[in-house]
Amino acid sequence: MNRKILNYFVFLIPPLIFVGIFTIYPVFASFVYSFYTGSGFGLDNYIKVITDTNPLRALVMPKLDYTPPWGALIHNVVWIAIHVPLVTVLGLVLAYVLKYYVVGSNLVKGIVFIGMVIPPAIGGVIIRFMFDKDIGVVPIIFSALGIKELATTWINYPNLALYALILGSVWIWLGFAVTVFSAAIEAIPKSHIDAARVFGASDWHIFRRIVVPEVKPAVIIVVVMTALWDMKIFDIVFAATGGGPGGATNVLALVMYNYFARLLDYFKAATVAVILTALVVPFVIIAIRRWL
């Protein structure tokens, strides 16, 4: 074997060992444990996890009303349905406005990006304060607008708590979207914008006809990465509400944690981990195919 190739293998051995111990083996072990029932192997863990109706562990709650808890899986879906469009649209609009209409935009971008720098657990605590009746900025705004129903501590009420976390996470994740879209907008040839202005195109037409089509690859990146982040969200929920009140903000990663750390049921925890991985894999495949 060529000595140069042999040197490559020597340098690859330590990272391969590290990946094997801390990534490949845990994934394989979790998959095996998810089928272990204590006396043998089967689908009992999956059946029990999927059919569990305890609000703190349920993946899907058997209810038809419009008030959470709906189950951790449904909460993750609702999170994606609200969070992804808000982050994508706000990030694109903000990046466009900062590029063409704001002096000192880099300073504003730095302020927006603070949410990404803050550890998610700290972000969860901040969200808790943001929606507090006495000191939170959101209830204060609604109180000033005369909307008393929303001028309260959101996380104390099942019908508001989940939305409080989702809206708070928009602030945390918006910096990522603005950064990606800002880079995409910078890559748009200036001649395209100038030509459109010469022919009398309005700002709205420039944004819709030139900017949006040009940044479509960035839109895909933001949508996929945001959805991926939403599916495995944990820190914010754990720090802000712990899944309460009454399981109204529970998510898949928190259900896995509850099985593992609170009930010490490692096999059901592995089962939830496998389910979560199966739901995340499609987003990963889309991302890989897009970038490669």
pLDDT tens profile 209-221:
888 889 988 998 8
CA distance 175 to 159: 28
> Is the C-alpha dihedral spanning 116, 118, 122, 127 positive or negative?
negative
pLDDT of residue 198: 84
Cis preceding linkage at 14, omega within 30: no
> Distance between CA atoms of 23 and 35, rounded to whole angstroms?
19
Which one, of 77, 76, 70, 65, lies nearest residue 55 by Cα? Answer: 70
Which pLDDT does position 118 carry in this prediction? 87
**How much is the pLDDT for 291?**
61
Minimal CA–CA distance to 92: which of 227, 184, 188, 4?
Answer: 184
**Secondary structure (3-state) at 49:** helix
> Which CATH number belongs to the domain containing residue 248 in this structure?
1.10.3720.10
Residue 212 lies in a domain: yes
pLDDT (0 to 100) of residue 290 = 67
Q: Is residue 285 part of a domain?
A: yes
Query: What integer pLDDT is reported at residue 61 of this predicted model?
Result: 87
Does residue 230 fall inside a structural domain? yes
Residue 227 lies in a domain: yes
Asked whether residue 204 is assigned to any structural domain, the reply reads: yes
AA identity, residue 16: L
In the chain, which residue ranges form alpha helices assigned H by DSSP?
3-19, 25-33, 44-51, 72-100, 105-112, 114-117, 120-130, 137-144, 158-186, 190-198, 203-206, 212-214, 216-231, 235-240, 252-257, 266-291
**What is the token pair recorded at 96?**
């466009």
> What is the model's pLDDT at position 177?
93
Name the token pair of 50: 């999927």
pLDDT tens, per residue, the chain with 292 residues: 567 777 777 788 888 899 899 888 988 999 999 998 877 888 999 999 999 988 889 999 877 678 888 999 999 999 999 999 999 999 999 998 888 887 777 777 777 788 888 888 899 999 999 999 989 999 999 999 998 889 999 999 999 999 999 999 998 999 899 989 998 998 888 888 888 888 888 888 888 888 888 998 899 889 988 998 999 899 999 999 999 898 999 999 999 999 999 889 999 999 999 999 898 888 778 777 766 5
Contact 229, 284 (CB under 8 A): no
Q: Report pLDDT for 273.
A: 92
Number of domains in the chain: 1
* DSSP per-residue codes, 263-275: S--HHHHHHHHHH
Token digits of residue 224: 């996929």
- Amino acid 254: pLDDT: 95
- Judge whether 4 lies within some domain: no
* Containing structural domain, residue 210: 48-61+70-289
**Is the residue at 2 inside a domain?**
no
254 belongs to a structural domain: yes
**CB of 127 closer than 8 Å to CB of 136:** no
Task: Return the residue matching tokens 């801390």.
Answer: 22
Q: What is the pLDDT of residue 50?
A: 92
d(CA 211, CA 208) in angstroms, rounded, equals: 6
User: Helices 216-231 and 72-100 sit at what angle, rounded to 10 degrees?
Assistant: 150
Of the candidates 105, 84, 123, the residue with the CA atom closest to the CA atom of residue 221 = 84
